[in-house]
Chains A and B, each alone.
Chain A
C-alpha cells in the first residue's frame, strides 16, 4: 500500500454548538415506543473559516485587519472569528470594540460600508454566556458589497455599545432590538420601547417569553394555541 492511499489527516474544524435537538416528533411524555424520541443531536453553527476566503472577502478582511492594526488595535482582539457561510461574510466582533470596528468599516476608503441595514437580535437560549446576538448588516454602495457583523452579550450582562453615533439610522433599530430582546445599547440617545407600550413588562421576542394565545373552537373541536400545538422540530 502506497502512502498516497492513506487519507490526509482531517484538519480539526472548530464548531460552535448552541444547543441540542431532542427526539424527532416533538411529543413529550407520551408513550413513544419508536425510540426516535431519545435522539439527541447538537445544533452546530458554522465555525470559523480559514484563509483564503475567496472573492472579495479576503480583500475586505485584509483591509479591515490592516486598518485596525494601524489604529493600534490587534485584529485578533477585536475580531473573534470570521465566518464564510452560504456566500456571506460575517465578522464576529467583541462588543468592547464594536464602535471602533464599525467606524473603521464606514470611514476606510477601501471598505466604505456607508449604509447600515439595522440590527437584528437573536436569542440563543441554550448557549451559556453568549445568549444574545446583535446582527448588523452593512452595505457598501461604493463597492457594492454586503457584510455582516455579529456581536454577542450574555443574558446576565446584556450590554452592547450603541452604533448610533456612527450610523444614525440604527436609532430606531436599536430601540426595536431593546424592546424585543432586552439588549441594552449603551450610548443610545434615548433607548425606549418602540413597538410595545411603554409600560410593557418583558421582552417579547426572547425565546423564554411565551407566544401566548388562547385555544380556539372550530366546528366543535378545540384547536390549541400555536405554541401549545405538537411541533415536529
Chain B
C-alpha cells in the first residue's frame, strides 16, 4: 500500500483537510479537528445516512453544535421517469408515476389520471364507483404515508417503539392494498378512465375491520408521544417556518397547515367529489415540527372518517369509463398461477366478438389518442400539493409529463428551518418535512 492514512482517515485537498468518518472513530476525529487550524467545519451528511430518508445529502457548515449554513444535495435517485413516460403510451404512464413517491403511489396515479382525463375531456364520465374507490384508496394511503413519517421520525430521535407501532399499523393498510390491487406498493391500480379492476370480494369487510382496529390503536400514539416530555423537548420549536416563509418557499401540506392556514386542496379546489365528504382540515399554530406531528395524527383520524363514508357510499356499478375506445379492455381473474388475464374473457373475445378483439388489440398495442393541449391537475397528497402538468401532441404517448412533487418543493425549506439551530435538530426538521427521495428526484 502506497496510500498513507493519518489518524481518523484524513487527506489534504485544495479545499482543506477532509476527514472520513467510518464509525467508532469519533474520538479520533474530534481530536484531529481540535488540532486543525481550520475554523470552518463542513459536515457531509449522506447520501447514505439512514436518517436522511433515502439518498438525501445534507451539507452542513457547523460552528460547534450550531448549524450556520445548510444545503441539500439531491439527484441521487433520479431515474428519468418523466423522460421515460414520453416513450410509453398513456396507460403505461401509471406504472411509472406510481414509482415516483413510493409512499404515496395512489396519489401519484390519481393525479396523473385526473390530468389525462381532463385532456381527454371525460372527467364527468368517470363512474361514481371508480371515484369513490379512488378516494377510499387515497385516504388509506394518506394514513400509511403519515405512519411511515411518524415511524421513521420517531426512530430518528431514538423512539424505536414509535417506529414499531407505525410500521405495525401500516401493515394493516398494505394488506388491504395487496388484497385490492395485488401489490403492496407500485400498484398501477388507478388508470385513465377509472380503475384497473373492482374491489375483490371481502375487501369491504376487511377495510371495515382494519379501520376499527386502527381506530382502537390511535390512542397509543397519543399516549406514547403527544404528551411525552422527551418527545416534546425534541420537537417543540424545532424546524420553525412561518406563513410568509412557507408561501415564499412554496411549502404546502402539513408544513403550511402548521402555521395556522387551513389550506387543503380537498376543500379549496375539490376533486374526486371531496366536497361531498364530511371531514375537517387539521391545523396547528406552532409552525414547528411538533405542530406538524399533531397535524399528521389528526389527519389520520380524519382519513378514517372519510374511509368509512366511502364504504357507505359504495354502490354497485362499473369502475371504468363506458367509452370502449378509452377503457382498458382486459379483464383480470385469479388463476392457478396468480392474477392474470381472465381466460373466460379471452375465450369470449377470441371466439365470439371480432370487434372486441380488434379493440383489445388496438388499445393494448397502440393505445388511445389524446387530443392536443395541456392540462394541470392537483391533489392534496400527504405531503402537500401534488401537481401534474401533462402535454399531449395528439398522439398515443404523452408529449411531456411534469410532476410538481411536494417533497421536492418542501425540501427547499430545509435551509430556512435548520440554519441557526443545533445539529441534532436538523434530523428532526427533515423528518418534519417528510421528504421521500423517490418523489424529489423522480
CB distance from A227 to the nearest CB of B (A): 5
Q: Select which of B78, B248, B391 is within 8 A of A169 by beta carbon.
A: B248
Q: How far is the CA of A45 from the CA of B372 in the complex (A)?
A: 6
Q: Is B82 an interface residue (CB 8 A)?
A: yes
Q: Which partner residue on chain A sits nearest B405 by CB separation?
A: A118
With contacts A86-B119, A122-B400, A148-B376 taken as known, whether A117 is within 8 angstroms of B394 at the C-beta atoms is no
- Are A195 and B394 neighbours in the complex by a CB distance under 8 Å? no
Q: How far is the CA of A85 from the CA of B119 in the complex (A)?
A: 9
- Are B391 and A43 neighbours in the complex by a CB distance under 8 Å? no
Interface residues on B, range: 35 or more
B83-91, B129-137, B229-237, B273-281 - the one binding chain A: B83-91
Q: Is B44 an interface residue (CB 8 A)?
A: no
Q: Which partner residue on chain A sits nearest B247 by CB separation?
A: A114
With contacts A43-B372, A117-B404, A171-B412 taken as known, whether A227 is within 8 angstroms of B248 at the C-beta atoms is no
Q: Is A172 an interface residue (CB 8 A)?
A: yes
Contact with A along B351-380 (1 / 0, CB 8 A): 000000000000001110000111110100
- Are B83 and A211 neighbours in the complex by a CB distance under 8 Å? yes
Contacts of A169 in B (CB 8 A): 248-251, 409, 412
- Are A232 and B367 neighbours in the complex by a CB distance under 8 Å? yes
Q: How far is the CA of A173 from the CA of B396 in the complex (A)?
A: 28
Q: Is A205 an interface residue (CB 8 A)?
A: yes
Q: How far is the CA of A33 from the CA of B2 in the complex (A)?
A: 70
Interface residues on A, range: 35 or more
- Are B261 and A233 neighbours in the complex by a CB distance under 8 Å? no
Q: Is B64 an interface residue (CB 8 A)?
A: no
Q: How far is the CA of A86 from the CA of B392 in the complex (A)?
A: 13
Q: How far is the CA of A227 from the CA of B83 in the complex (A)?
A: 11
Q: Which partner residue on chain A sits nearest B250 by CB separation?
A: A169
- Are B263 and A141 neighbours in the complex by a CB distance under 8 Å? yes
CB distance from B273 to the nearest CB of A (A): 17
Q: Using a CB-CB cutoff of 8 Å, which residues 113-129 of chain B contact chain A? A: 118-119, 121
Contacts of B366 in A (CB 8 A): 232
- Are B389 and A120 neighbours in the complex by a CB distance under 8 Å? yes
Q: Which partner residue on chain B sits nearest A139 by CB separation?
A: B385
Q: Is B7 an interface residue (CB 8 A)?
A: no
With contacts A86-B121, A88-B376, A226-B87 taken as known, whether A232 is within 8 angstroms of B396 at the C-beta atoms is yes
Contacts of B222 in A (CB 8 A): none
Contact with A along B301-323 (1 / 0, CB 8 A): 00000000000000000000000
Q: Is A153 an interface residue (CB 8 A)?
A: no
CB distance from B381 to the nearest CB of A (A): 13
Q: How far is the CA of A19 from the CA of B392 in the complex (A)?
A: 12
- Are B250 and A232 neighbours in the complex by a CB distance under 8 Å? no
Q: Is B171 an interface residue (CB 8 A)?
A: no
Q: How far is the CA of A86 from the CA of B408 in the complex (A)?
A: 27
Q: How far is the CA of A203 from the CA of B342 in the complex (A)?
A: 44
Contacts of A141 in B (CB 8 A): 247, 261, 263, 268
Q: Is B340 an interface residue (CB 8 A)?
A: no
Contacts of B261 in A (CB 8 A): 141
- Are B395 and A195 neighbours in the complex by a CB distance under 8 Å? no
Q: Which partner residue on chain B sits nearest A44 by CB separation?
A: B372
Contacts of A184 in B (CB 8 A): none
Contacts of A44 in B (CB 8 A): 372
- Are B365 and A205 neighbours in the complex by a CB distance under 8 Å? no
Q: Is A204 an interface residue (CB 8 A)?
A: yes
Contact with A along B403-429 (1 / 0, CB 8 A): 010001101100000000000000000
Q: Is B93 an interface residue (CB 8 A)?
A: no
Q: Is B387 an interface residue (CB 8 A)?
A: yes
Q: How far is the CA of A231 from the CA of B378 in the complex (A)?
A: 30
Contacts of A148 in B (CB 8 A): 374, 376
With contacts A86-B119, A233-B396 taken as known, whether A172 is within 8 angstroms of B408 at the C-beta atoms is yes
Q: Is B158 an interface residue (CB 8 A)?
A: no
Q: Is A144 an interface residue (CB 8 A)?
A: yes
Q: How far is the CA of A19 from the CA of B394 in the complex (A)?
A: 11
Q: Is A46 an interface residue (CB 8 A)?
A: yes
* Most chain A CB inside 10 Å of its own CB: which residue of B74, B250, B366, B399: B250
- Are B75 and A167 neighbours in the complex by a CB distance under 8 Å? no
Q: How far is the CA of A146 from the CA of B269 in the complex (A)?
A: 9
Contacts of A204 in B (CB 8 A): 80, 83
CB distance from B70 to the nearest CB of A (A): 14
Q: How far is the CA of A117 from the CA of B248 in the complex (A)?
A: 11
CB<8 Å pairs between A and B, sample of 16: A44-B372, A85-B374, A86-B375, A87-B118, A88-B375, A117-B378, A117-B385, A135-B389, A141-B263, A146-B269, A172-B411, A194-B75, A204-B80, A205-B82, A226-B88, A232-B396
Seen from chain A, the residues whose Cβ lies within 8 Å of a Cβ on chain B are 18-19, 21, 41, 43-46, 85-88, 114-118, 120-123, 135, 137, 139, 141, 144, 146, 148, 167-173, 180, 193-197, 204-205, 211, 226-227, 231-233
Beyond A85-B373, A194-B75, 17 additional contacts (C-beta under 8 Å) are A43-B372, A46-B373, A86-B373, A118-B250, A118-B387, A121-B402, A135-B389, A139-B385, A144-B268, A146-B269, A168-B248, A168-B250, A169-B251, A169-B409, A172-B409, A204-B80, A231-B397
